Each structure stands twice: as C-alpha cells, then as structure tokens.
Amino acid sequence: MLGFRRTRELPVCGANGAGGPPPYKEAPPPFALPRPEARAAPLAAIRAAHGDKLRLCDALEQVADTLPGHVDRILCLQIANALVPLLRDVHRYEEEVIFPAYEAIRGATETTATSLRRLCAEHVEDECFADEVTQVLLSIGHGCAIDNPEAVGFMLRGLFETLRRHIAFEAEHILPAIAGPAHAS
C-alpha cells in the first residue's frame, strides 16, 4: 500500500514521496461517517466535501469578478476563514480513506501509485496557494486597498480553476472506481 503522512500540517506522500506506513491509521476521519466499512459512506462524505469545495470556488470566482470596486469584504473574510481548514480536512480524508480505498481496488500498480502521488502533490500545492490567497483575502476583507486587482483576480482564478480540475479528476476517475460498477454515478 502506498502510505501518506503529514509534515507541518501539509500532506506529503509517504517517506519523501516514496511510500511508507499511513500515520493516521487510528485517527478518526474528519467527517462523521456512520459505517466507514460501507462504500457508500466515504463516497457520500467526499461528494459532500467536493460540494463544499465547489461552493468555495464559486465564492472565489464571485470575488474575482467584482474586483476592484465592488468587492464584498465580508465574503472575503468568510472565504479566508474557511479556505485552508476545509482544504486540509478534505485532503486528509482523501489521503487516509479515499486514496487507500482506490489503491486497494485498483491494485498497487505503478500507474496507481503515480496518480496518487500526483494527487497528493497537488494537495500540497493547493494548500500552499490557498494560504497565500487567504492572506490576500484577509487584507481585502480588513479594508486594505487592492493595489493590483488584475494580479489578485489572476491569483483567485488560478486557485479555483486548479481546485475544480482536481475535483473533476477525482469525480471522473477515483470515485467511480471506489463505488464499483453498481454504484457509479
């Protein structure tokens, strides 16, 4: 099995990206799952998490679309408050529950390992980028001037487009494999 570990609150694949034991074997998932052994419960949890992430993407897009003069500063603060914690929780759940389930179903092949390492690396990049976006949103939310609205808009779009692509890949490839042919949707 491919293992995942976290360092300084950022997900890192295995030992230096090369596998290793999962560190959170005993830790409960960040979502309340009634029957974790059932396929439907993790799928429902991750689909709900994807919905939360997509709503945040929509909010980021709304901010980008209203730059520079009509920005909702309260919305900026709400996004800044939710963005990094949500991504960290969802990424941890994917790395502890979803990815190992996918690997168990697909087999520990090089192709599977490569895909999971890439997704895990994207988690690290997304969280780092989200941290930068959070700082900008906090600044805007607290009334600071937006010196370069084009750059801020580009930054926001870069994050939400990346998140949407990642979610689409998981929805098209990872989740159907876990759900199995009878439950794929």
CATH 1.20.120.520 assigned to 4-10+38-179: yes
Q: For the whole prediction, is pTM greater than 0.85?
A: no
* Rounded Cα–Cα distance for residues 60 and 79 (Å): 8
Q: So what's the pLDDT on residue 41? A: 83
Cis omega before residue 68 (within 30°)?
A: yes
Q: So what's the pLDDT on residue 1? A: 35
Consecutive 10-residue averages of pLDDT for the chain (185 residues): 38 37 35 41 90 96 94 96 95 94 90 94 97 97 94 97 97 91 51
Q: So what's the pLDDT on residue 42? A: 85
Q: So what's the pLDDT on residue 17? A: 39
Q: So what's the pLDDT on residue 16? A: 33
Q: So what's the pLDDT on residue 40? A: 58
Domain-wise residue ranges, the chain = 4-10+38-179
What is the three-state SS of the chain? CCCEEEECCEEEECHHHCCCCCCCCCCCCCCCCCCCCCCHHHHHHHHHHHHHHHHHHHHHHHHHHHCCCCCCHHHHHHHHHHHHHHHHHHHHHHHHHHHHHHHHHHCCCHHHHHHHHHHHHHHHHHHHHHHHHHHHHHHHHCCCCCCCHHHHHHHHHHHHHHHHHHHHHHHHHHHHHHHCCCCCC
**Exposed / middle / buried, residue 42 (Cβ in 10 Å: 0-12, 13-18, 19+):** buried
Q: So what's the pLDDT on residue 69? A: 87
Q: So what's the pLDDT on residue 182? A: 53
Q: So what's the pLDDT on residue 180? A: 77
